[in-house]
Structure 1
């Protein structure tokens, strides 16, 4: 008897069956909505306690402060979904801000030149990280922690205790951090455009979905013919380039740059990404969720300042949110695994399924032999 097997279910970007992909998307959407809800509750409660919190300048400050963090979170998301991490982004921001500031100091350098220089430095740092992780196969944690300290040492050596003051930076660059369009500052506009472009690429292009496939199952991705090394290298290049752009925006935003600019931001960026629903184990998450996580952490910092609470609590709250996010990721992972297992079992037991047909054929054969 001939048995016709059913075609396999369509796979999602992480290699899960179509039903599993839909379940993951549903859970991610619920996660992002919960972050947005928490953000709304936080803002409303703070506004009740201090009505000046939602003043026009207060809202602008929140979005300006969040812009650079969101930009770094977008780049970090691409790296984390491939089961890697980039701890050097904060150091890259500081290095780029100081080098570009030194380059344009006392000149009338064009803004485009400053942006190209900053992105180029970030790309160089990302290239070193990407080559060591993807082609030399050194663990990402070790590589990026090492480059973090190397870049910091290089930055202190170049600075030699000096600083870049806002009076030395050309007005064309400073206007990027202070100006805007129709009352909306340039920095949030740039960040939103980058976020939408990266999010659309990851969602709509097969090469973008391959990043998720690598994070979901590197072995399956390799068997499927996905160029894992090139994709991981690309992830670090994008992260480095966005960190370089963030360094230029840092210079435009603050004007004054010291040797330890953005020091410690790497952990804040990772926290924002994980809180935003990007699984630290890879394969799951969106840049939109990471952006919401960054906005939530920035808002918490602003709320504590408005309520005159010790800044220590910001770090404590960030740590608690990070632990909660990792715990939720683990619970969601187990839930998805159980759901997929249940779907597979029900499909195998259903009438007409390949397993059921084979079992029926075996029973008929046994009857003839007896």
Structure 2
């Protein structure tokens, strides 16, 4: 009796079997749907309107997405821990108006100092959110809804009817949104650096990986010795820092800042993170996906405007994308839980 020789793992048969598994892993990427949707949207719009991808058109797309990308990166950290921060628009507004105030009241102030002050103010406001959530043990949705109005009220009281315009800032500061490197606006390059740093933190550090564990099951995370309160506080603090950075860049990007700056922006930021594959229930997602979600949502607005589609449909499409992302995430969670139960039953 003879037996068929066993092939070593490095043979062609093993290589062929590895291909479907790699393809399956690619198809399971949470960022894949938003990437495909973005490519399809840009392709269709360019066919209808060839000027959409002109050099100036691409620059405008990147500039429109930059602020939301930075905010979505910070929001992803918070949502992954099974929380949410609705105050980021108000934080941005306070910092943006504060930036204009600094340039007017302190002539000649170095731009680097303005960035540091803006990020420190954002850190303070983010720390307040983090402390209230972790110490008071009140849901973040309630806390940040309250601070949204508090921070907005402070900005209204501070700004009143005052507005600062592009002429009130140094030319070098305004140039951050004008000058480009290899076709990328400088503020967009700052956003890319932010995304890379946060992505490395989430994937390459223990503290970053702890955020996923907390979002998946906070009680289990505590049992494993993870300092849940400290990690959640740092997530809110970092989110505040990035909102402060976005506020300074907002003052560079737009012609005026005032009491209403940033109003309603928090909804777009949460939508970008969710559409980008960050699970609203916590525990999964990536900052790269959140950035892609921000780029998709801002591109939708630009594309539908270029196609002369009514603004109502723009908002309706964003709503459909949010619902689709939540439903898909829920279906994936149910399937994963079912496979886990089947696996455990077989092992028994």
Common fold by TM > 0.5: yes
Q: Match for residue 323 of structure 1?
A: 323
Instruction: Give distance in 1, aligned partners of 2:253 and 2:267.
Output: 21
Check the 8 A contact 1:79/1:236 in 2, yes or no: yes
2:58 is aligned to: 59
Which residue of 2 is the match for residue 71 of structure 1? 70
Assess if the C-alpha contact under 8 Å between 1:97 and 1:248 holds in 2.
Answer: yes
Kindly state the Cα deviation for residue 346 of structure 1 after the two structures are TM-superposed. 2.3
CA distance in 2, matches of 1:65, 1:160: 27
Structure 1 Cα separation of the partners of residues 215 and 190 of structure 2: 28
For 1:128-184, what per-residue CA distance to the aligned partner results, in whole angstroms no more than 9, with x for missing partners? Answer: 000000112111011100000011111111111110011011112111121222332
Higher Cα Rg: structure 1 or 2?
A: 1
Other-structure match for 1:150: 150
Cα pair distance change 1:40/1:55, threshold 3 Å:
same
Contact 1:100 1:118 in 2 (8 A): yes
Q: Which residue number corresponds to residue 297 of structure 1?
A: 297
Q: Report deviation, 1:310.
A: 1.9
What's the offset of the Cα at 1:282? 0.5
Deviation (angstroms), 1:311:
1.7
Query: Is it true that 1:170 corresponds to 2:170 in the alignment?
Result: yes
- The equivalent of 1:242 in structure 2 is 242
Cα displacement (A) at 1:28 = 8.1
Kept in 2: contact 1:110–1:172 (CA 8 A): no
Alignment of 1:221-370 (within 5 A): 221-348=221-348
SS in structure 2 of the partner of residue 30 of structure 1: coil
Question: What is the match of residue 35 of structure 2?
Answer: 36
Contact 1:28 1:277 in 2 (8 A): no
Q: Secondary structure at the match of 2:296?
A: helix
CA deviation profile, 1:319-348 (whole Å, cap 9, x unmatched): 111111111111010011011112222233
Query: Where does the alignment leave 5 or more consecutive residues of structure 2 unmatched?
Result: 1-20
1:50-104 CA-to-partner distances (Å, cap 9, x unmatched) read 0000000000110111011010000000000101000000111111000111111
Question: Corresponding residue for 1:81?
Answer: 80
Change in 2 beyond 3 A, CA 1:116/1:328:
same
Length, aligned pairs only:
326
Question: In terms of mean alpha carbon deviation, does 105-114 or 262-271 score higher?
Answer: 105-114
Q: CA deviation at 1:105?
A: 2.0
Q: Which residue of 2 aligns with 1:217?
A: 217
Q: Report the counterpart of residue 12 of structure 2 in structure 1.
A: none
1:30: how far off?
3.1
Q: Quick one: distance in 2 between partners of 1:85 and 1:31?
A: 20
| Alpha-carbon distance in 2 for matches of 1:171, 1:135 | 44
Asked if 2 retains the 8 angstrom alpha-carbon contact of 1:105 and 1:170, the reply is no
Question: How far 1:228 moved relative to its partner?
Answer: 0.4
* Distance in 1 of aligned mates of 2:229 and 2:30: 30
* Aligned alpha-carbon RMSD (Å): 1.6
TM-superposed CA distance for 1:27, in Å, is 7.9
3-state secondary structure, aligned to 1:118:
helix
Using the TM superposition, name which of 303-312 and 128-137 deviates more. Answer: 303-312
What is the CA-CA distance between 1:29 and the residue it aligns to?
4.5
Scaled by the length of structure 1, what TM-score is found? 0.85
Match runs of 1:95-106 below 5 Å: 95-105=94-104
* Partner in structure 2 of residue 112 of structure 1: 112
CA contact (8 A) 2:62 2:184 kept: no
2:59/2:183 contact within 8 Å kept: no
Do the aligned partners of 2:72 and 2:287 also contact (CA within 8 Å) in 1? Answer: yes
Distance 1:27 1:129, change over 3 A: farther
Corresponding residue number in structure 2 for 1:6: none
- Secondary structure at the counterpart of residue 105 of structure 1: helix
